[in-house]
Amino acid sequence: MPMALAVGNGVWLGRSRFEAALLVALAMGVIAFGTRRLVVFSLAFVFLVGAGRSHAEWSTTMVQTPFAVRGSVVLVSDPDPVGRGVRIVVERDDHRWQGFVFGRAARRLDSALAGERVSIEGVIESVPEGERTRSLIRHVVGRIVVDDVAVPPRPMADNRIGAVLNRVRRLLESGTRTIDEPDRGIVAGLLYGDDRRQDVDVVARFRGSGLSHLTAVSGQNVAFLLAALSPLITQLGRSTRAVAVGVVLVAFALLTRAEPSVIRACLMAGVAMACRVWGRPVAARSVLAVSVAIGLVIDPMLAWSVGWWMSVAGCAGLVIVGPLMRDERPKSRFGEVVFATVAAQAAVAPVSGLVFGWPSAWSIPANLLAVPVAGLVMLIGLPTVVLAGLSPDSVARVLGQPVVWGARWVDGVARLGSSLPSAPWFDAVMTIGLVVGVVVVIGVRFVSRPCGNLPAWESSSSTAQTRFSWPKKSSA
């Protein structure tokens, strides 16, 4: 945890106060030298690394003077339909530009995916002043006004890895070809995080019911993927197994377009596997802290990503807040789900409230009803959709039916949760009550915990009463 805080503060200071960050790191180094504490020196080092990475990213030169561009560019992300056009982010010579394509040119992009080359003709302009911060967070340095786009009949990625992953992506899309909308968009979102073609009404009701996180790939998807591959992975040696898991995680992150939640989940799985290979298993909260630190060093702009902090906060609720709320594991599976849902919602509430407003008061019951079914869809969905992509339409329709039923259940819960009567004041009261209740439960647990040589309270099961007992005197 101190490492994550050190990197986070370094990234924050490095944006506009790099000199102050240097002074702080120097002071920490002096303290470490004087006291010979390796921990302080390590924190100073990672703090300085975070500050330097952040300063370098925020110092990126933006486009100032318009100029024409014509030729081959690489699609950084999948073309995203927005309104009547398609939003694209392209890269050339390590510079990223964002723009919109309309009309016939936009329809040509339907067959292209991220990492593939297309020919483009247009003008690169500067980003408006009010949008520069948001653009830099996504590493975009200019805005492209597109005149024409040419897409090869068979778009190809720059490298073999990208080509293989896009082939898998197209296979997954083919596996959902027999599913009607809006079910197809929901299935794609649940399985591999593709929400580009989700209906506006679907997005609205998932957000209104607090279920929008289900259509973003996260730790649950990664866990199910590793569980599905475990019969093969467990046959390998320890070192080979670590390499195989690392390859799978990197491939899955690239396949799902490396969204912030995916990065966090894959980093945690990788760190946990590395610790196990080294023979030093660590607590989940430590794995989360190290993963946050590594993620911020790799891409400091994650510190300004709402999706990153929502994912981190939700995971912190599961691995930190949840264990603090109880002395032992619940006796039933349902109790575990309730504890996990309450802890995650309480941890996410401050971030969600600051950015999106008060979360829905019905989000907890909606998650309790939807998450288990969504988990089953994720578990059986990927292999089923892959088989459907390799099968004729009649077989694909039968294979996809269980996945469709699960998606309709989740959508039905979202529809119910978003339609229940509510008001901003009611959402605020319920959210504040949830957070306060969790804090009170944690506080009561710590106050009632026996400690050291102090008198201890013991619960007598025979009398169903609580009695007070003093520690016995030693015979010595």
> How many Cβ atoms sit within 10 Å of the Cβ of residue 286?
17
* All residues at 6 or more sequence positions from 429 whose CB lies less than 8 Å from its CB, including other chains: 361
Q: Identify which has the larger pLDDT, 434 or 66.
A: 66
User: pLDDT grade, residue 98 (50/70/90)?
Assistant: very high
Map residue 472 onto helix, strand or coil.
coil
Per-residue pLDDT reduced to its tens digit, 152-166: 887 777 788 888 889
User: pLDDT grade, residue 32 (50/70/90)?
Assistant: low
User: Is 85:100 a contact under the CB 8 Å cutoff?
Assistant: yes
Q: Identify which has the larger pLDDT, 450 or 251.
A: 251
Q: What angle do CA 39, 40, 44 make, to 5 degrees?
A: 120
State yes or no: pLDDT of 85 exceeds 90: no
DSSP H/E element including 284: helix 284-298
Identify the pLDDT of residue 104. 86
State yes or no: pLDDT of 16 exceeds 60: yes
Per-residue pLDDT reduced to its tens digit, 258-283: 888 889 989 998 888 888 877 777 78
Residue ranges of domains in the chain: 2-58, 67-150, 166-428
State yes or no: pLDDT of 27 exceeds 70: no
Q: What angle do CA 290, 291, 297 make, to 5 degrees?
A: 90
* All residues at 6 or more sequence positions from 191 whose CB lies less than 8 Å from its CB, including other chains: 172, 221, 377, 378, 381, 382, 385, 403
User: Is 80:87 a contact under the CB 8 Å cutoff?
Assistant: yes
Number of helical H runs and strand E runs in the chain:
18, 8
Per-residue pLDDT reduced to its tens digit, 324-335: 776 555 556 666
Long-range contacts of 329-337 (CB under 8 A, 24+ apart): 337/368, 337/371, 337/372
- CATH assignment, 67-150: 2.40.50.140
Beta strands at 456-460 and 142-150: parallel, antiparallel or unpaired: unpaired
Tokens of 320: 């930190």
State yes or no: pLDDT of 235 exceeds 70: yes
The alpha-helical segments, DSSP class H, found in 75-159 are: 103-108, 132-137
Per-residue pLDDT reduced to its tens digit, 331-380: 566 667 777 778 888 888 888 877 777 777 888 888 888 888 888 888 88
Tell me how far apart the alpha carbons of residues 417 and 196 are, in angstroms, rounded to a whole number: 23
Map residue 359 onto helix, strand or coil.
coil
The dihedral sign for the CA sequence 255, 352, 326, 410: negative
